Copies of this chain bind each other. A is one copy, B any other.
Amino acid sequence: MGEFELIARHFTRPVPPGGGVALGVGDDCALLAPAPGMQLAVSSDMLVEGRHFLATVDPAALGHKALAVNLSDLAAAGAKPLAFTLALALPSVDDAWLAGFARGLFALADAHGCTLAGGDTTRGPLTICVTVFGEVPAGGALLRSGARAGDDLWVSGTLGDARLALEVFRGTLAVPAEVFAAARARMERPTPRVALGQALRGIATSAIDVSDGLAGDLGHVLRAGGVGATLEADAAAARVAARGAPGMEAFDAAAWRSLALAGGDDYELAFTAPAAARAAVEAAGHAAGTPVTRIGRIEAEPGLRIVDAQGAPVTQRFASFDHFSATE
């Protein structure tokens, strides 16, 4: 059995009927059959060793994350996951590593009914490229561009946890073991807010997934909508999961704000909705099992104004996390 066949064995599974995949792995192309009236939402992300993950990462966590970051893009579009392709460059063929990677990948894929439809494998520096496909009713996708003055600004789940773990790995922060374990789990196994994204269709006016830090990602929403916003820094900072944990007393308000607003790798949804839709947003969060928090409001005046709990401007700078120019 050649190395290709060894690899293929880990990724070859039957295609479930009725899931929108007419032909899966094994031909020149996969064939997707979206239901009538549906558009196909597509996103592609590349993860590179040493930049997005360390060589020592648990392969199952890496398999999870490689798909999770793409599912998070589908969530931000309000799309229902359908299928994905996997292109993988591997420095060597390690059966145990592949088994672990596949286990993590397929556990998340199965949880979302997302079928591996095709792929490619080659030798090279460890690099993972997943392209994911989801269904959304024509015209019904959540976009970045729909925010309007008067809308509320919301965020799902918790913020800054992944960045906290990253800083502990870097040695710039020290935290209690329990806090680190929880933050590391959020960094290595992010939860894409797929159910929430779909529940927000017809309610939210815009959405984005928070991958490079809330402040920076909000900038995309504001520019796309031609609007501005006031963001309550401490409402966002209250959403760091480690906030209030024993042993975290040394962290000041500026540190929590920085984690929440410039963390990166959160894979939460930031979204806007009319003030009249507050109850509907809360209901969507409840139905999806994901907490949602109101953290500001959209205004006509362009720009992002960050204020504290008293409404006073916060002068602290929140740089976006840039996978290209970041120094890590």
Cβ of A30 under 8 Å from chain B: yes
A42 — nearest CB in chain B belongs to which residue? B30
Q: How many angstroms from the CA of A262 to the CA of B29 in the assembled complex?
A: 22
A125 — nearest CB in chain B belongs to which residue? B125
A87-B129, A124-B125, A141-B23 as given contacts; A40 in contact with B34, CB under 8 Å = yes
Query: Which residues in window 82-140 of A have CB below 8 A to B?
Result: 83, 85-90, 93, 117-125, 127, 129, 131, 133-134, 136, 138
Instruction: Identify which of A1-9, A151-159, A226-234, A306-314 touches chain B.
Output: A1-9
Chain B residue contacts of A51, Cβ below 8 A: 122-124
Chain B residue contacts of A236, Cβ below 8 A: none
Chain B residue contacts of A120, Cβ below 8 A: 44-46
Q: How many angstroms from the CA of A33 to the CA of B137 in the assembled complex?
A: 10
Cβ of A252 under 8 Å from chain B: no
> Helix, strand, loop or mixed for chain A's interface?
strand
Cβ of A300 under 8 Å from chain B: no
A33–B39 contact, CB under 8 A?
A: yes
Query: Which residues in window 37-60 of A have CB below 8 A to B?
Result: 39-52
Cβ of A79 under 8 Å from chain B: yes
Within the complex, the shortest CB–CB distance from A7 to chain B, in Å, comes to 7
Can you sample 6 A-B contacts with CB below 8 Å?
A27-B144, A28-B43, A29-B79, A31-B39, A46-B89, A48-B123
